[in-house]
Structure 1
Amino acid sequence: MAGQTPPPTMKAQTLTAFNTPYTPATLPTPLPTAPYDLLIRVSAASYCHTDAVLAAGQMPPFPTSFPHIGCHEFAGTILSLPANSTSPYPVGTRLGVPGRSFHPCGTCSDCASGPTAGNPDADPPGYSVYCPSATNHGISGPGGFQEYAVVDWRQVAVIPEGMSDAEAATMMCAGLTIYAAIKRCGLERGERLGIMGAGGGLGHIGVQFAERVFGLRVVGVDVKDGPLGLAREVSGGEVRVVDGRVEGAEEVVASLGEEDGRVGGERGVDAVIILPESQRAFEYGMGLLRNHGKCVVVSFPKEGFKFQAGDVVFRDIQIVGSLVGSNKVLREMLEKAAEHGVKPRIKTYPLSGLNRLVEDYHKMEGGKLVVDMSLPDE
């Protein structure tokens, strides 16, 4: 094994049952064995809405057993490689790690297909984040709430200079998911994009990507003071931040129509991204759309969403889903974030403070909450 030898045991935070606090644990340090494996020293582990959903037992059948180590968006530095390593990354490289996809099968239709005319952003043949047989860090397998982790070098991305590990960790799911969702909208520069939940963990990053990287005119909607303030803080001249508690979709559409010189069904945004798990947010977003617009759904509430048939029949609204993105898109997203100064707003906690982080998360004040392994225990 090349590189440093890790200690035999490590600290971790584990779930021992659904709807219970995290429990500190001392566990054996994992070791890299397969040619694709890297052992990293975890430096930052970001908390995502999916972590909350999984901890509440709303993602059956995962986890399949307890104790479980959560977190599917984290970052760290390569500590060692197995003797049979095929990694292009040397020991000491700083990497961001998304949850998907650890050890994909390489032979299923998703893995074998590669880029196509309909999906040019797919990874090369032999690897796919959609592989049904792969392990997903923090969900079906152990994630980042531990001092060391074994990851697949094909799933990682090198952290750009000037981006901290804590910032990079948040981009591994939140940044990638919203970036891929914006691409899924298929908009041209200058067109309008609505973001429901614009001040949340994904939303405030999406506002920046949409305006700075894609050149879109953004209508960001939220319903809480903290997230609204954050959306305004990160927004620029082409972003309109709307308080959904006091301004309805019809009012927004009417004002956009006046501004754009459009009438009737031509008024509204060209696409909308739904981030909250709220039927009201979904309906508000659909109400913002012009005829022939596209609704991209990222959230997945247990009870689902209800839509009006008239929207898809008489208004020709497309409703599609978007789940993270390929690792090709992951690396593209990081490069664009560094180039255009897209930065998440983060608050950090030590590993021992994970339960306090979770309490703060449920206050829904906006931004991203991150475990910083360099902070001393509480």
Structure 2
Amino acid sequence: MATVSDDNLPKFMRAQFLDAFNTPYVLRSVPIPTLGSPHEILIKVDAASYCHTDAVLAAGQMKPNPPSLPHIGCHEFAGTIVALPNGSLSTFKIGDKVGVPGRSFNPCGTCFECAAGPTPEDPDADPPGYSVYCAGALNNGISRPGGFSEYVIVDSRQLSPIPNGLSAVDTAVLMCAGVTIYNALKRCALRPGQRVGIIGCGGGLGHLGLQFATKMGLKVVGVDNADAPLQLARGIATGAKIIDSRVQNADDVAIELGNEDGKEERADMGLDSVVILPESQKAFDYGISLLRNHGRCVLVSFPERGFHISARDIVFRDISIVGSLVGSNKTSREVLKFAAEHQVKAVLRTFPLSRLNDLVVEYHKGEGGKLVIDMSLPD
């Protein structure tokens, strides 16, 4: 397809390839990809963030549909538009700075998900013809090439313009971690002044969630069980109560919250909603125990073996459990505007593209925050 492009566009690019599961990435040079459909756009990647899903994928645990190898990962990144197809259906132009999530590349446009559009139950859904839930769509960095490369083709309908006040590095971490936790908090369906808990509050999603929830006017309780994440959470969680689950049991915390709220009955003490981020059964149980009767649990994590759920909690306490998966393009744009307006930023460390394997080593130390490839850094 003929294109309109930046005059300085090179013929080749560097990319980090996963050639086999459970092996280091390999950096090599390959031709820059060419555009296909009128919805496609070529961007120069400015920053690419590492996500827990990247670790799951690299370990060969992305089931039931692992990616074909070799593979270029990363599904949360940001960049600059450098080429458009002739007859482009996008309103973006060359030089625009954009954030890119993983979902959803070239959806079918006709399935029930794509056709639905916004509804009273889901007012944040994208207009008919595009859906992040389309089963026929590909996903950047998971089922197709992603952001651990100097250039990548994206779907113009995925993109969110970067507002003033956010850098490419700031934006990259928001395009999965930020959108996911923001959407989960919206699914809590709370009013300002109600209580929300974030289990795993010192991780990449969690520490962003502390900031989002506080700025939403919620009373926030963060829970973690490791020294470095707890220290990180306490450093950024102005106004939030941070709990070390190793030393405080959930029942005592719920009673303490109830006393603060002037409650007299144990069943009415605790959180109105909780977001579960870790894949641990203990973390899930702790979060459920923090809920008051009629509370809501929002699941973001999806451990391979699932969670054991107590029917007694659901039947006798009227606890509801819902899932939350990233968010629509409308939500992605809302996240960036909210983050810019309220100065929500990740605690992060940056690495050049050539040091992606060093980044992975740091990730597995579990010290919290986010790790990002910054393409402006020298090798």
**What TM bracket, shorter-length normalisation?**
over 0.9
Counterpart position of 1:343: 345
Cα distance in structure 1, aligned partners of 2:336 and 2:244:
30
Whether 1:95 and 2:137 are equivalent positions in the alignment is no
Q: 1:173 is matched by which residue type in structure 2? A: C
Give CA deviations for 1:286-336 in whole Å, capped at 9, x if unaligned. Answer: 000000000000011111110111000100000111000111111011111
Match of 1:259 in 2: 260
SS of the equivalent of 1:335 reads: helix
Unaligned runs of 5+ in 2: none
Tell me by how many angstroms 1:63 deviates.
3.7
Counterpart Cα distance in 1 of 2:99 and 2:233: 25
Counterpart in the other structure of 1:184: 187
Map 1:146-185; keep pairs closer than 5 Å.
146-185=149-188
The match for 1:283 is: 285
User: Does structure 2 conserve the Cα–Cα contact (< 8 Å) formed by 1:71 and 1:145?
Assistant: yes
Aligned to 1:81: 84
- Aligned residues of 2:67 and 2:142 also touching (Cα < 8 A): no
Letter in 2 for 1:229: Q
Task: Tell me the amino acid that sits aligned with residue 323 of structure 1.
Answer: L
Contact between 1:274 and 1:282, CA under 8 Å: does it hold in 2?
Answer: yes
Structure 1 alignment gaps of length 5 or more: none
SS of alignment partner, residue 312 of structure 1: helix
Aligned to 2:274: 272
C-alpha distance in structure 1 between counterparts of 2:139 and 2:64, whole Å: 13
1:223 is aligned to 225
Contact 1:253 1:288 in 2 (8 A): yes
Matches within 5 A, 1:1-378: 1-5=3-7, 6-212=9-215, 214-237=216-239, 239-262=240-263, 263-377=265-379
Distance 1:99 1:206 in 2: 20
CA contact (8 A) 1:34 1:84 kept: no
CA-based RMSD of the aligned residues comes to 0.9
CA shift, 1:61, in A, is: 4.1
8 Å contact from structure 1 (residues 268, 288) kept in 2: yes
Determine what percentage of the aligned residue pairs are the same residue.
61
8 Å contact from structure 2 (residues 255, 266) kept in 1 = no
In the aligned structure 2, how far is the partner of 1:98 from the partner of 1:105?
A: 18
TM-score using structure 2 length: 0.98
2:80 aligned counterpart, secondary structure = strand
Contact 1:62 1:139 in 2 (8 A): no
Residue identity in the other structure for 1:84:
G
Write the deviation string for residues 53-85 of structure 1: whole angstroms up to 9, x where unpaired: 111111124443110000000000000111121
Tell me how far apart the structure 2 counterparts of residues 182 and 198 of structure 1 sit (CA, whole Å): 13
What is the TM-score when the length of structure 1 is the normalising length? 0.98
- Taking the aligned partners of 1:349 and 1:63, their CA distance within structure 2 comes to 26
Contact 2:275 2:300 survives alignment (8 Å):
yes
